[in-house]
Structure 1
Amino acid sequence: MSLKPFKSIGIGVAFSPNLKANLFEAARLAVFFESKLFLIHVGDPSEDKIKALKIILAPFKKDALDYEVIFKMGNPVDVILKTTEEQNIDLLILGALQQERFLKYYLGSIARKLTRKAKCSILLLIKPSVNRVPCQHIVVNGLKDPKTERTIASAFYVANQLQAEKITIVEEIKQEEIKIKVDDDISLRRTNIIKERIKLRENARIKDIIAHIPKEYTENITIKTQPIFGQQGYSIGHYAQISRADLLVMNAPTKMTFWDRLFPHDIEHILTELPTDVLILQ
């Protein structure tokens, strides 16, 4: 794993009521990850806008925040996607919307399109704040996938940089792995035995992944493994919500097809109703 997986961070800048909170979150992360921050504004350049951004980011001067403002005209989705590629942005920060009268968060149309199309990692924020809210508990997917080892290693890097106290690695296990129909005590016992064997197998796989991560990232944090039988995406999102996780870290989907929109897979379940801040790693 690279010691600096996020060398550059991008965020779309709209002069809205959330501007200061969004910029503070992005600037803090740029400082924590020692990254360059790109502020992407879809619109005409102006000295007034640059001055306003400078005033907001003034508190980060002491941290030697390295940032650049980019102005471009065009369709917001196209502009931001093109800029992430031109500037080799590793992490794009997007904000979520809150449903009126409900404490539920979802993505607007622009953020959803960017999440589906961006070739870089994505961080979805549900409640950006001017004052830092410590990240104490990170939940990361541990499903059997070629991307998972790097995702778990990156989650430990993030935890280390943000000084999180705990990481839970959730192994989502499909119900199809248990092929016994439970209709009496004997079949119930057999099902439980199979479940325990699967849990032991999955925990051994995760321990092997953790063993390959540099100790500097794993020694000062509480590590928990949590096998869950259920629907991928929905199960881990529900777990992150009930465990009050501050951040959920997920693999990016390998591909997004027409069928994925009809029959949502794991990431689509998460995007429908965000349980917490979500980091989707490419």
Structure 2
Amino acid sequence: MSLKPFKSIGIGVAFSPNLKANLFEAARLSVFFDAKLFLIHVGEPSDDKTNTLHDFLTSFEKDHLNFEIVFKTGNPVDVILSTSEEKKIDLLILGAVQRERFLKYYVGSIARKITRQANCSILLLIKPSVVRSPCQHIVVNGLKDPKTENTITAAFYVANQLNAKKITIVEEINEDQITVKVDDDKSLRRATIIKERITLRENSRIKEIISHIPKEHTIDRNIKLQPIFGQKGYSIGHYAQISRADLLIMNAPTKMTFWDRLFPHDIEHILTELPTDVLILQ
């Protein structure tokens, strides 16, 4: 994986009440990652729109923010996906929607379609803010998967750029790996021993991955390994919520078929109820 995974960042721009907060979040990340920012507006170009966007971003001139405004008409999903391809965007920022009467967030229909189809990484924001809220704790998946080493490496890069001091790597382990049926004290002890062995094996695998990460990204960080026996996607989302993580980083799903959507698992659990801001890495 490149030590600089995000060279270009895109965000869909709608002239809504959240416009300024969304722009500030995207601009800050572009500065932190030293990336070019593409503002994608689905609609006709106009001087008024262009001037409004420039006015909002004047406070980032001192940071030498490099940005470009893209106007394009058409279906919002198609426009954002095609522009992401054309501009070679590495990270696409999308806003999530708060459910009525509940402090829960879910991905709106347009953002959900983009998330499932995009070939780049996706950042889902649940509470964009004009004033930066520091990122202190990042939770990242550590499941056994070909993509996981890149995901963990990128998580440490993100932590370094955002000055997050704590990283928890969650190893989600399926309960079916515990082959013992627990029905008495003896079987309980056997199940406990099996869990301990699996935990040691998983921790060893993660420590090996961490050993390959540049030292400047791991030094002075509080690194925690957290094995969880449970359902993938749901378990890590719940952990991120109860541990009050500021960012959850996940592998992008390998495939997203009709059946995957019908029977939610892994990333679909996260999309249904976002525990915090979520970064899905390709």
Q: How many Å separate the matches in 1 of 2:202 and 2:140? A: 14
Report the equivalent of 2:155: 155
Q: Look up the match of 1:278.
A: 278
CA deviation digits over 1:50-78, x for unaligned, max 9?
00001100100000000000000000000
Quick one: which amino acid aligns to residue 173 of structure 1? I
Deviation at 1:27?
0.1
Partner residue of 1:128? 128
Q: Secondary structure at the match of 1:11?
A: strand
Q: Which amino acid aligns with 1:186?
A: K
Instruction: Structure 1: give runs of 5+ residues left out of the alignment.
Output: none
Question: Superposed, which structure 2 residues align to 1:230-249 within 5 Å?
Answer: 230-249=230-249
* Deviation (angstroms), 1:2: 1.2
State the AA in 1 paired with 2:251: N
| CA drift at 1:124 | 0.2
**Which secondary structure does the structure 1 equivalent of 2:34 belong to?**
coil
2:164 aligns to what SS in structure 1?
Answer: coil
- The residue number in structure 2 matching 1:112 is 112
Deviation string for 1:3-31 (max 9, x for gaps)? Answer: 21000000000000000000000000000
After TM superposition, give the deviation of residue 83 of structure 1 in Å. Answer: 0.2
Q: Is the partner of 1:138 in helix, strand or coil?
A: strand
SS for the counterpart of 2:196 is helix
Q: Displacement of 1:105 after TM fit?
A: 0.4
Does residue 56 of structure 2 align to residue 53 of structure 1?
A: no
The answer to whether the aligner puts 1:5 opposite 2:5 as a matched pair is yes
1:220 Cα deviation from its structure 2 partner: 1.8
**What is residue 165 of structure 1 aligned with on the other side?**
165
**Counterparts of residues 11-26 of structure 1 (less than 5 Å):** 11-26=11-26
Q: Could you tell me how far apart the structure 1 residues matched to 2:169 and 2:52 are?
A: 41
Show CA shifts across 1:228-273 (max 9, x none): 0000000000000000000000000001111101211200000000
SS at match of 1:170: strand
Following superposition, the deviation at residue 218 of structure 1 comes to 0.3
Aligned-partner residue type, residue 273 of structure 1: E
For the pair 1:225 / 2:198, whether they are aligned, the reply is no
Partner of 2:188: 188
Q: Provide the rounded CA distance (Å) in 2 between the counterparts of 1:6 and 1:62.
A: 21
**How many residues get paired?**
282
Identity %: 79
Could you say which residue in structure 2 is the equivalent of 1:27?
27
Task: Say if 2:137 is the partner of 1:140.
Answer: no
The whole-number CA distance in structure 2 between the counterparts of 1:46 and 1:184 is: 73
Counterpart code for 2:162: L
**Separation of aligned partners in 1, 2:60 and 2:169:** 33
Equivalent-residue separation in structure 1 for 2:66 and 2:246 (angstroms): 26
Is the partner of 1:179 in helix, strand or coil?
coil
- The DSSP-based 3-state class of the residue aligned with 1:4 is coil
In structure 2, C-alpha distance between the alignment counterparts of 1:165 and 1:7, rounded to whole Å: 23
Unaligned 5+ segments in structure 2 are none
Q: Following superposition, which runs of at least 4 residues in structure 1 exceed 3 angstroms of deviation?
A: none
2:265 aligns to what?
265
Can you list the C-alpha shifts for 1:191-242, whole angstroms capped at 9, x where unaligned? 0000000000000000000000010100121100000000000000000000
Aligned AA (2:270): I
Cα distance in 1 for residues equivalent to 2:260 and 2:160:
34
